[in-house]
Copies of this chain bind each other. A is one copy, B any other.
Amino acid sequence: MSSEVQHPYLMFLGDAPDQLAAKTAAGVAHWRPTWCLGQLRLDGCNADLGLPDMDLEAGREAGCKTLIVGVANRGGRFSPAWIDTFHRAIDLGYDIASGLHNRLTSVPGLAEKAMEAGKRLIDVRHPTQDFEVANGVKRSGKRLLPVGTDCSVGKMYTALALEQEMRARGMKADFRATGQTGIFIAGDGVSVDAVIADFISGSVEWLTPENDPDHWDVVEGQGSLFHASFAGVTTGLIHGAQPDALVLCHEPTRRHMRGLPTYPLPDIGLCMERNLQMAQLTNPDARFVGISVNTQALDASAARKLLGDLERQYKLPAVDPVREGVSSIVDALN
């Protein structure tokens, strides 16, 4: 079974205690506003995506096909109110897709009910597909991969902004999702950090197959080569993606690697050098085409100065994709 998710979506926010708990759902609503027709909030929910509130019946009448569970739950367990909603969703004809660690398929009776009804339970963090070992063979088409100085520095946002800009210019481009939020946004993908280690690169080769020579896969990055917990995932992702173009993503106020208080962030130039070395194993023509910085914590003039300094130092376009978009990076692809 692939992770393919049918839209339109009804966004399930459950009893999310705050907006942060609904971060995944908010990302989906931001990038795919036309797919997200409504939100379903239970008692005690303090998150709001700004979408019309709908119950399950109203969502079906509006045309929703999948209930998206894009919310962090309390304590890793589904509460009784959630479970009741899931059962009724299947009764009403929804597929359900979840990005949580705990599985829809482990909710008592739900898998049987879904099977009888011909509906799907999609746990996007738990790939059920069998992948091949990577073969390293060059594929037609082009691929772009954002890589990071750390985890959570804007790689997914950068990839989606690039896809949007490329499509606006009439270029052939597809975002390829490698994590849970990205999968809901793309409607398909692979949670590469949940794949069996032998098949990391193979799963990414599957995700970014042969394509037209002028087609770009814009692949969602994961982790960092300098993150002591996750660099294996990043390595496999780079090798499988065979990127023609790399974009370095960075968050300038991060004091240490995420979750690792004793690990400093790498120097940007060193980070680019190591990522390029890694990428050139499977694509000798790989090169950096830009730098993408999350400058949210800086004021506008400090942000402009930082980006200008980076452009001069590395001779590459440097942008904040939120403040100013990514058009100068897309220019650099040609």
Interchain CB contact under 8 A, A231 and B226: no
- Residue in A232, A260, A281 whose Cβ sees the most chain B Cβ within 10 Å: A232
Shortest Cβ distance from residue A188 to the other chain B in the assembled complex, whole angstroms? 19
When chains A and B are docked, how far (Å) is the Cα of A226 from the Cα of B193?
21
Nearest B residue (CB) for A136: B228
Q: Which residues of B contact A135 (CB under 8 A)?
A: 228-229, 259-260
Nearest B residue (CB) for A202: B229
A192 at the interface (CB under 8 A from B): yes
Contacts A235-B235, A277-B274 known; A133 to B229 CB distance under 8 Å? yes
Interchain CB contact under 8 A, A200 and B232: yes
Nearest B residue (CB) for A196: B194
Q: Which residues of B contact A197 (CB under 8 A)?
A: 192-197, 200, 232-233, 236
A137 at the interface (CB under 8 A from B): yes
Q: Which of A168-221 contact B (CB under 8 A)?
A: 192-198, 200-202
A143 at the interface (CB under 8 A from B): no
Interchain CB contact under 8 A, A194 and B198: yes
A263 at the interface (CB under 8 A from B): yes
Nearest B residue (CB) for A195: B197
A34 at the interface (CB under 8 A from B): no
Q: Which residues of B contact A282 (CB under 8 A)?
A: 228
A301 at the interface (CB under 8 A from B): no
A262 at the interface (CB under 8 A from B): yes
Shortest Cβ distance from residue A225 to the other chain B in the assembled complex, whole angstroms? 8
When chains A and B are docked, how far (Å) is the Cα of A226 from the Cα of B136?
11
A134 at the interface (CB under 8 A from B): yes
Nearest B residue (CB) for A126: B196
Our pick among B192, B260, B281 for the contact of A231 (Cβ within 8 Å) is: B281
Interchain CB contact under 8 A, A229 and B196: no
When chains A and B are docked, how far (Å) is the Cα of A193 from the Cα of B201?
12
Interchain CB contact under 8 A, B229 and A260: no
Our pick among B133, B196, B202, B228 for the contact of A201 (Cβ within 8 Å) is: B228
Contacts A193-B198, A197-B193 known; A134 to B229 CB distance under 8 Å? yes
Residues in chain A within 8 A of chain B (CB atoms): 133-137, 192-198, 200-202, 225-226, 228-237, 239, 259-260, 262-263, 274, 277-278, 281-282
17 sample A-B contacts, Cβ–Cβ < 8 Å, listed by A number = A133-B230, A135-B259, A136-B228, A136-B263, A192-B197, A193-B198, A195-B196, A196-B197, A197-B200, A198-B229, A202-B229, A228-B281, A231-B239, A231-B281, A232-B236, A235-B235, A274-B277
Known: A194-B197, A201-B230. 10 other contacts (CB 8 A): A133-B259, A134-B228, A136-B263, A193-B197, A194-B198, A195-B197, A196-B196, A200-B233, A201-B228, A228-B239
